[in-house]
Structure 1
Amino acid sequence: MNNQMLGIIDAAVNQHSLQDLTAGRSIGAVPFAGRYRLIDFALSCMVHAGIRSVAVFSKSPYRSLMDHLGTGKEWDLNRKRDGLFFLPSSLPHEEHVGLGSFRQFAEHLDYFQRSTQQYAAVANSYTVGHIPFQEVLKQHIESGCDLTEICQDGKPLGMYVTKKSLLREMIEGHGAEGAQSFEEVCRKERDSLSVNSYEHSGYTAVIDSPESYLFHSLNLIHPVFREQIFHMGQPVYTKIKNDPPVKYAKNSRVKQSIIA
């Protein structure tokens, strides 16, 4: 049985509450913890789950995100077969839809048609944490449900696992119906879809407002939180920048800070 997953990261979600941070970049390209970008966490989780084909959907402005992702080399996704796909959208930046715009997916329907994976993991680009997509897939298959929604403390994290065939049916059925999203359709069609819930434990940060960005950034000063996000077992991969380091003079005073 082909239990491989296709990775889909929606970096085009327009969070109006984060306009000050996303005026010149997509939300996935927002810096976090000094050396990382928000998209690094979802992308690294997918790679650790053995996902070898990842599509990043984005819309303007996406230059910063493209520069960061490059060929996907840092995530071992610069491959002859599968690999990292950057799929820009023609949708206007002002158009606000939830996670997984079907109009956006429909513009690149051939990507879904050509892929050979049986399942798909759909994720946003602004959740920080270690999401075990392989465990989610295992529970999804055992449940026999149409869709598995990843939650924490009963609250959805904006991440899902489903069969790719069902996702294609949704794209083909809703792609021309205006600003409809995967998240919205799943919510509306709960009576016709069987939905399983995967309860995730462990530290997770959803960056959806300036307040949450500040709160979770300051949390990293405390080792108990930092060690849950950055540990040797599942490193967070990112683009390496060999820039000159900051110089600290003899009378410099640095307290409660993370030096990236």
Structure 2
Amino acid sequence: MRAIGIILAGGSSSRMQELSKRRAVCAMPVAGFYRSIDFALSNMTNSHIQTVAVFTQYNAGSLNTHLSSSKWWDFGRKQGGLYVFTPAVKASGNLWYRGTADAIAQNLEFLRSCHEPYVIITSGDCVYKMDYAKLLEYHIQKQSDITVVCKDMPASIDTERFGTIRMNEESRIEEFEEKPVVSRSNTISCGIYVIRRRQLIELIERAEAEERYDFVRDILVRYKDMKRIYGYKIKEYWNNIASVEDYYRTNMDFLKPEVRNYFFRDYPGIYTKVVDLPPAKYNVGVNVKNSLISSGCIINGTVEDSLIFKGAFIGNNCYIKNSIILNDVYIGDNSHIENCIVESHGTIQANSYYKEDNGIKVVVENNERYVL
């Protein structure tokens, strides 16, 4: 494919509460087995993009470990590959990425060294499947300077936390507002863009010279009347993980057969780093209903409408409902957990009770697992 990929994976989100204190949002576990960045990486390789750069920064330890081998997404090749960039000490100074445009600016040498004429830019915290080849074909057909992937959201979704856009009949973007106080459109930007590589370098250099650091505000919004910026609407599944509620809802969607089939069975697939674990073990007397149980789990008690991630242990007489139990969690006997997200590697002592009647409760317990 005539494009390189850039995945912006350096940001943090205070709306993720305790979940983002240990890891980058792009490293959040999804659907029992994946990380959120796996969806963008899989879309890249499925679209035959051979060169992909990931810009990491905030709490990047687990994310960098996850990306330590590129073979899982088929980027281990002689030409191209998977490149991970973090802020570095340079002769000009030592600065963290001050925004999405600044992250690209600090790695412009990578862009200059590539030969592909186009760049696909995407965030790493969205769950979706997309053929970027069709997106690039649309971009070329429209003779667009920048193409923005967008989606019409239902009225129940608060669009004021997204970038909202309005287009004319030809799909040219006439209005772009980043997180408006009052939203006047239900069409949002999905954070996926196509732009010619040389033009991106030119715009980033100009933004850097003017000390402008955000790709949306300082490029898309600023140049919407001067550049040909078009929208590319998608109707397929797309969700952004930017808050506890988003994360909970996205994972719960995988309990729906149509969503599971779309991601797990329909071609092309979603790939991730493989961890060798035994199959889940269901002990005598368990009761599991409409739940997703991952490898390495040992299940006792009752589990309903929940996702149990890798290596979790559910004790005797436990009751788990409408909850997400992350990796390597130990839940002691006779515990009740409902409408909760239990942080990974936590130990819930026996006879614990966690239930949230309004919203979702994030449970973080670091109790010693084995005591005398």
TM-score by length of 2: 0.65
**How far 1:82 sits from its partner (Å)?**
1.2
Question: Are the aligned partners of 2:25 and 2:125 in contact in 1 as well (CA < 8 Å)?
Answer: yes
2:5 partner SS:
strand
Map 1:103-252 to 2 at 5 A.
Answer: 103-153=102-152, 154-178=187-211, 180-184=213-217, 185-252=219-286
Greater relative contact order, per chain length (Cα 8 Å cut-off, separation 6+): 1
Choose the corresponding residue for 2:85, options 84, 87, 105: 87
Q: 1:129-182: CA deviations, max 9, x gaps?
A: 112211110000000010100011121101001101111112211125446221
Deviation at 1:252, TM superposition (A): 1.5
- Cα separation, 2, equivalents of 1:226 and 1:175: 43
| Structure 2: gaps spanning 5 or more residues | 89-94, 153-186, 295-372
Identity %: 31
Indicate whether 1:49 and 2:47 are aligned: yes
Q: Which residue of 1 aligns with 2:9?
A: 11
Given that 1:58 and 1:88 are in contact with CA atoms closer than 8 Å, whether structure 2 keeps it comes out as yes
| RMSD (Å), alpha carbons | 1.6
Contact 2:17 2:244 in 1 (8 A): no
Distance in 2 (CA, whole Å) between partners of 1:181 and 1:231 is 37
Contact 1:202 1:228 in 2 (8 A): no
CA contact (8 A) 1:105 1:175 kept: no
- Rounded to whole Å, the distance in 1 between the matches of 2:210 and 2:59 is 24
Q: How far 1:206 sits from its partner (Å)?
A: 1.4
Shift of 1:85: 0.2
Query: Structure 1 stretch 212-221 or stretch 84-93: which is displaced more?
Result: 84-93
Corresponding residue of 1:36: 34
Structure with greater strand share of residues: 2
Task: For 2:224 and 2:256, locate their aligned partners in 1 and report how far apart those are by CA, in whole Å.
Answer: 40
Q: TM-score, length-normalised on structure 1?
A: 0.92
Q: Quick check: 221-230 or 5-14, which moved more?
A: 221-230
CA distance in 2, matches of 1:11, 1:19: 18
Taking the aligned partners of 2:266 and 2:106, their CA distance within structure 1 comes to 39
Unmatched 5+ stretches in structure 1: none
Alpha-carbon contact 1:103-1:176 (below 8 Å) kept: no
Q: Indicate the structure (1 or 2) with the bigger Cα radius of gyration.
A: 2
Give the conservation status (yes or no) of the 8 Å contact 1:150–1:157.
Answer: yes
Q: Secondary structure, in 3 states, of the residue corresponding to 1:50?
A: coil
Counterpart Cα distance in 1 of 2:58 and 2:229? 33
8 Å contact 2:144–2:230 — kept in the other structure? yes
Per-residue CA distance 1:76-109 (angstroms, 9 max, x = gap): 102222100000125548x6x4xxx222222211
Match of 1:74 in 2: 72
C-alpha offsets along residues 177-206 of structure 1, whole Å, 9 cap, x if unaligned? 446221222112111111111111111111
- Could you tell me whether the CA contact under 8 Å between 1:9 and 1:125 is conserved in 2? yes
- Name the residue aligned to 2:289: 255
Equivalent pair of 2:12/2:58 in contact (CA under 8 Å)? no
